[in-house]
Amino acid sequence: MAGLMMDARISKAAEVDSRPANNLLRRLSQADYALLAPHVTVDNAAANELLYNPGDDVQVVHFPCGPSLATFLVPNEDGRDVETILVGREGAVGGIVSEGYLPAYTRICVKFGGPFAHLNVAKLEAAKQRSPSLRHVFARYADCMLAQIFQSTACNAIHSIEQRTAKWILAAMERTGDENSVPLTHEQLATLLGVGRSYASRVLQSFRAEGVLETRRGSILVRNRDGLRLRACLCNDAVKMHFEEVLRGVYPTEEASPSSAQG
């Protein structure tokens, strides 16, 4: 009997591990994932690749896997886009709320390159019709994404550039799983925060002076993660808590190694 249980556990683990490294897909029951599996494809996307432009027909859901990251950009009258929220292996982009076939409102861009899983929106909707539990997982994720955007709106309204810089670096690291570096130029960081480049450099300098991080050409090395947390606003944590309440286990944590499970 113990043998049987163990076999079941191993086969289930194997089944889950064969899925793309996306927590939303991995959280689905076997039966639910089986509805989607025939339509899921995986490939690599390069940084800066555009997944959607405003006005595009939304036909494919993209799931960032592993360290890849997507971002929602809102176009601006100046031509410079403003970055809003980051989506990594905890989620997906494209038709999550609209359920597809509406013109995209934002631009969606690959921030950090890597593997993405893809799924036709119509196939996903058909599967949702067949499985309420599948529908609920995606409705719950949609709610988490909404929470993320609400929090960003508030954050942009009242938190300082310094706080938002620290927050962004932490959020990116949580999602990529990289413990101490973020591949980003000062220019990119500035753009994504919607501030001038020189000020972004200055904020990073102040962090460096305090021993929190080091700067390299094209990347930021974090030396003291807790120091960074101390300097960040709490927006990330609020969103993380909502994820935990609504979709436990989907938001990536630092100790995400499989061996941490107690059985």
Find all residues with CB under 8 Å of 98, minimum gap 6, and list them. Answer: 58
Give the nearer residue to DNA in terms of CB position, either 23 or 151: 151
Out of 186, 231, 240, 242, the residue judged to bind DNA by CB under 7 A = 186
Site for DNA in 198-227 (CB under 7 A): 198-199, 201-202, 204-205, 208, 215-219
Site for a second copy in 63-92 (CB under 8 A): 72, 74, 76-77, 82, 84-85
Phi, psi of 22 (to 5 degrees): -125, 125
Structural element, H or E, at residue 146: helix 132-158
Contact yes or no for 164/193 (Cβ under 8 A): yes
Tell me the closest approach of the beta carbon of residue 72 to a second copy, in angstroms: 6
- 199 lies in the binding site for a second copy (CB under 8 A): no
- 140 lies in the binding site for a second copy (CB under 8 A): yes
Site for a second copy in 217-236 (CB under 8 A): 233-234
Three-class DSSP labels, 177-229: CCCCEECCCHHHHHHHHCCCHHHHHHHHHHHHHCCCEEEECCEEEECCHHHHH
57's tokens: 């027909």
C-alpha to C-alpha distances, 16 to 12, 70, 177, 243, nearest whole angstrom: 6, 23, 19, 21
Tell me the closest approach of the beta carbon of residue 255 to a second copy, in angstroms: 25
Give the nearer residue to DNA in terms of CB position, either 201 or 224: 201
- Report what 245 binds from DNA, a second copy, none; CB cut-off 5-8 Å by kind: a second copy
Out of 37, 42, 56, 99, the residue judged to bind a second copy by CB under 8 A = 99
- 142 lies in the binding site for a second copy (CB under 8 A): yes
Compose the 164-193 pattern: x for residues touching a second copy by CB under 8 A, - for all others.
-----------------------------x
200's tokens: 């972004």
**Burial annotation 104-139 (CB, 10 A radius, 16+ → b, else e):** bebbbbbbbbbbbbbbbbebbbebbeebeebbebbe
- Report what 185 binds from a second copy, DNA, none; CB cut-off 5-8 Å by kind: DNA
Three-class DSSP labels, 34-91: HHHHHHCEEEEECCCCEEECCCCECCEEEEECCCCEEEEEECCCCCCCEEEEEECCCC
Tell me the closest approach of the beta carbon of residue 156 to a second copy, in angstroms: 4
Compose the 232-261 pattern: x for residues touching a second copy by CB under 8 A, - for all others.
-xx-------x--xx---------------
- Report what 122 binds from DNA, a second copy, none; CB cut-off 5-8 Å by kind: none
- 149 lies in the binding site for a second copy (CB under 8 A): yes
How far apart, in whole angstroms, are the C-alpha atoms of residue 12 and residue 16? 6
Residues at the contact surface with DNA, assessed by CB under 7 A:
160-162, 185-187, 194-199, 201-202, 204-205, 208, 215-219
